Amino acid sequence: MQIITGPIADWNARREGAEVCSEARHAAAQDGLIKLTIEYGDVVILTRLVDHFKTIKPNDLNTVIKAVSERATDLNPNDEKFAVLASIVEPRLEWLNQQLDKLDKPFSWEMPDAIFVDNARVQAFLRGPEIVMTTRGLVYFRDLQHAQRWTRHTQENASFELAAEGSGHDAFVTITKTRHLYEKQQAHVTKLKEEKELLLTNRFKDLADNRGKKRHREEDEVQDGDATME
């Protein structure tokens, strides 16, 4: 394993530190802006601010939602300002549910979004249920070194190990799937569930309950409509 030291490592460390500081300053600015707007008491201005935040993609609303959640705890649920703040939580909750529906699944060796641009057969293998395959009869290598270079492939939406074996024209690569992608997804799922639980049990449970009741009413109306048509 190559360890990078010296000016490059120092520059990378400073860059990463700067990115963290930038994100922290951005989050603090959003929180301060929401706090000042609430304290000012003008619902129209607060509504305009929230409408601006709604233009942000739901997956990028994390820092805004944190700020809104903290400030909402100081408001009465019957306060008009609370309703305005709650309106921005709804798209985030919807996004959280969509992500959980997609990612929170039992373990499978299938990696349906796997990409392996150099070989369609390998890509099909990654997307299928098999665990191990080799390149024998599929990819030609001049020698073992050539096969070793082939093992440098990037892993996109997949996790696997590549091992070069054999010698001369008989060299080949064994591809073995790993659980790393699934474990990484499950770690992400845990964070999504924690955020959802925090939102639902913090100050926005009523909002979630109302959305659930509305959804049930809409489903009942559809069923009633179908029954009438019959």
Asked whether residue 139 falls in the same domain as residue 154, the answer is yes
Asked whether residue 139 falls in the same domain as residue 57, the answer is no
Asked whether residue 97 falls in the same domain as residue 58, the answer is yes
Asked whether residue 80 falls in the same domain as residue 145, the answer is no
The domain of 127 spans 107-204
User: Does 90 fall in a domain?
Assistant: yes
Asked whether residue 139 falls in the same domain as residue 62, the answer is no
Asked whether residue 111 falls in the same domain as residue 126, the answer is yes
Asked whether residue 159 falls in the same domain as residue 79, the answer is no
pTM: 0.63
Asked whether residue 90 falls in the same domain as residue 68, the answer is yes
Domain end residue (candidates: 74, 104, 134): 104
Residues 53, 64 contacting (CB under 8 angstroms):
yes
CA 62/CA 196 separation, integer angstroms = 11
| Local confidence band at 167 (pLDDT 50, 70, 90 cut-offs) | very high
Average pLDDT, the chain: 78
Token representation of residue 128 = 């299928």
Q: Is 204 exposed, middle or buried (0-12, 13-18, 19+ CB in 10 A)?
A: buried
Asked whether residue 85 falls in the same domain as residue 160, the answer is no
pLDDT, one tens digit per residue, over 17-56 is: 444 344 545 556 666 667 767 766 678 888 888 888 888 8
Q: How many C-alpha atoms does 118 have within 13 Å on its Cβ side?
A: 11
pLDDT, one tens digit per residue, over 92-141 is: 889 999 999 999 999 999 999 999 998 999 999 999 999 999 999 999 99
User: Does 1 fall in a domain?
Assistant: no
User: Does 58 fall in a domain?
Assistant: yes
CA 174/CA 150 separation, integer angstroms = 11
Number of domains in the chain: 2
SS3 165: strand
